Amino acid sequence: MKTNSISNGSVSGQAFTFSGLRHALTIVLMLLGVVAFAQTSAQPSETSYEVKGVVLSVEENTALTGVNIYLKDTNVGTFSDVNGKFTFPRKLKAGETLVFSFIGLKKQEYTVTANMPEFIEIRMEEDPLNVLGEVWMDAPAKSKQKRRSLNH
């Protein structure tokens, strides 16, 4: 059996060298660096927010069913349920804007912020022009029916 003994300040048998220790320390530090990088790259660089809320009528203070809710300049969206509640289908980043629209009501926009509440309340008001739409006339309308005299 081989034993290690110390004599005159040296180690006999298996000796550790400073270069071997340096290599081992370098490997450990590299592994720690890889682990730290993997953890930071797995986390999103920007915080995302789940957007939930309810859509109400300003005039009647009632829930609005079927309100279109979409992310501005995209085709990602959802609708409010029978209780006016909604949960947007994906998480949003601060600065992104939701658009709320419904026939007969003014469009509303809501921009996501870092300090937004967990549950938002959107109040929509009537827009009579939105119900009727816009009417353009270039010239007075002319009837295509012939006029008849009531005295014939």
Tens-place pLDDT, residues 42-95:
444 579 999 999 999 999 999 999 999 999 999 999 999 999 999 999 999 999
Give residue 77's pLDDT. Answer: 95
pTM for the complete prediction? 0.57
Distance CA 120, CA 123 (A): 10
72, amino acid identity: K
Domains of the chain: 48-132 (2.60.40.1120)
Give residue 98's pLDDT. Answer: 97
Distance CA 108, CA 105 (A): 9
Give residue 46's pLDDT. Answer: 74
Q: CA angle 134-69-126, nearest 5°?
A: 45
